[in-house]
Amino acid sequence: MGKKYKESCIEILKEKGPLLGSELRKHLVERRGVTEGNARAIINRLKNSEAFLSTDPVKLKYQELIYYLPFHDLRAKLKLIMPEHSVTLNRIYQALVEEDGFLLWNEFVKISAGVVDPSQSTRKSAINIFNDLKSLGIVEEIIHYEHIPVVVASKKWFPRKEDLSIEVKTRTKKLSFNKGLNEDLLKWLESMNLIGWENSYVRDVQDFNVGYNGFYFDAVGYTYLWGLYRTNQKDELFEPARNKAGSPVLVESILHRNAKRHDITGFINRVDNYRGPLKSNNNLKVIPICFVNTMEKDAYNLARERGILIMKLSDVFGTKLADSLQELQEIDPEKVDPQKLSSILDNVSNSGRDGDFGNLKGYVFNFLVASIFNDAGYKTNIGLHYKDSEGRKCECDIVYEDVDEIIACEVKGYDEGKEVKLGENEREPDSVKKFFERTCSIIQKVSGKTVIPIFITSGTFSQDAINYLEKKNNSKRMKPLLKHNFPSSIYYDRKALLEHFGNKRKFKEHKRVLKEYFKQKNK
């Protein structure tokens, strides 16, 4: 008889699954003529023998489990029953289901609303929330990809058919791209005087343990708008208080995919809890802002209900520019089409908003350079992250790696005439020294391989930078490592790139992009 009940339950799930426990019991009662109590016992026994899958220990609507088979997709069912997202466990469970069974650590800390810096808050930490999930069998041990922790759903309830590395790599690339967009969006907020000039900062995908009063936010700024800044002094009619402090602007950014209810609920929880010891300050005001590309309706309604300022890319910069940004995120670094890049820049230019995204041109230039490497036979990656044993972190724009060596390429998409500086030391941002003396050092320590450093710009190098680069270029160590065709030098400026392109038909679009979109502003 037990075998027949098992076959009946599996048939029911094949026909109608996934099903809540009450739904499966009802169908079993109708099909086998058993009592409600017996049906409950049969289903529980079959669940324990792993005849089918369940969401155990996560109980959702009416504190029920969902039962399903390995080929089922839980997403539609979860949407239908809409679990209570104020419960952390439910929220993370649904996020894991909807985000293909894994979350990068910065995604996990946002959705779980766990504390990332326990020295700043006594609320439950993200790592303790993770440990709870692991003890319940919902997630596996944390895996690391390029030193970024990844939370993976347990195979017991989320069977995976493929290696996750490609999907993790794709999502990491998109989130790295979003950092540049967030910087540009903050500059736009500055231009409207919504946040103060140059007092905001954006988190990187590697900054997953850096908190604001203990909690992770994609970006933080301060507003000095009348009525929103903090002060104990009286404002006169035409004269604001002289002694004033900015109120926090906390930013959630979901530009790489559809923003969903679990994203907004996690954001609400963090905004609600970040105050900690600051709650005694009755004058403290907060502006929560959510940057999105697209957004599900229930997430949008929840954000509006809670008073979150929603900023869609298409509303801010127009549909053409938003579409171009989406296209750029989907480009495969190993199969870069220069005509596609040219088309994206054309659309941005035609939108009339090409000055609004300073990072966009630079990102397009990264892909353009990647296509040059691809043409030379190198399959490259864009925006790889490294962290050495000393805790030093870096990101490299373009990387090619084989068994023995790594070609690490720093790329600066500058307008014609703009110089790349040598830099005083390895800490100076955007400098030659930072790349050669810090970035390459970290990559070498992490990989243990020979690193061939290449610096490419669409602008120029300062004279002291050229002197430094020439010395390295002609060194006994470097000469044997350089290639006959490309890269035949450790640095390329605008002139050297145009010489490499020459009159070759395959570089026609490369030349057009360089000449039209990276020219001097007054030309």
Pair 432, 310 in one domain: no
Position 343 in a domain:
no
Q: What angle do CA 350, 324, 217 make, to 5 degrees?
A: 125
Position 52 in a domain:
yes
Give this prediction's pTM: 0.79
Pair 421, 292 in one domain: no
298-318 burial, b at 16+ Cβ within 10 Å, e below that, comes to ebbebbeeeebebbbbbeebb
Position 345 in a domain:
no
CA quadruple 485, 452, 400, 104: dihedral, nearest 10: -160
Position 285 in a domain:
yes
Pair 160, 182 in one domain: no
Pair 317, 415 in one domain: no
Domain finish residue from 24, 56, 72:
72
3 state SS for 224-239: CCCCCCECCCCCCCCC
Pair 63, 171 in one domain: no
Position 15 in a domain:
yes
Position 350 in a domain:
no
Domain finish residue from 53, 72, 91:
72
For residue 460, the tally of other CB atoms under 10 A from its CB is 17
Say how far residue 469 (Cα) sits from the centre of its chain. 34
Pair 68, 178 in one domain: no
Pair 143, 184 in one domain: no
What is the distance between the alpha carbons of residues 11 and 17, in angstroms, rounded to a whole number?
Answer: 9
Whether pLDDT at 360 is above 50 = yes
Pair 66, 28 in one domain: yes
| Overall domain count for the chain | 4
Pair 183, 319 in one domain: yes
Across the strands, what pairs with 252? 290
Range name among 18-27, 68-77, 286-295, 430-439 with the lowest pLDDT average: 68-77
For 472-520, the pLDDT digits (tens) are 999 988 988 888 788 999 999 999 999 999 888 889 989 988 998 888 7
pLDDT reported for residue 278: 46
Q: Determine contact, residues 430/395, Cβ cutoff 8 Å.
A: no
DSSP character at residue 120: T
- Residues in contact with 270: Cβ distance below 8 Å, sequence separation at least 6, in sequence order: 110, 113, 215, 216, 217, 250
Pair 420, 373 in one domain: yes
> Which residue blocks in 162-318 are alpha helix, DSSP H?
165-191, 261-273, 297-305, 313-317
One-letter amino acid of 81: I
- 183 exposed, middle or buried (CB, 10 Å; 0-12, 13-18, 19+)? middle
Pair 386, 512 in one domain: yes
Position 346 in a domain:
no
CATH number at residue 12: 1.10.10.10
Position 92 in a domain:
yes
CATH number at residue 300: 3.40.1350.10
For 220-243, the pLDDT digits (tens) are 999 888 777 777 667 665 666 567
Which structural domain, as residue segments, surrounds residue 135?
Answer: 79-164
Domain finish residue from 12, 39, 72:
72
pLDDT reported for residue 279: 46
Q: Determine contact, residues 313/351, Cβ cutoff 8 Å.
A: no
Residue 277's pLDDT band (cuts 50, 70, 90): very low
The H or E element spanning position 78 is helix 74-81
Pair 463, 409 in one domain: yes
End-to-end Cα distance, the chain: 85
Question: Residues, the chain, total?
Answer: 523
Whether pLDDT at 280 is above 50 = no
pLDDT reported for residue 161: 61
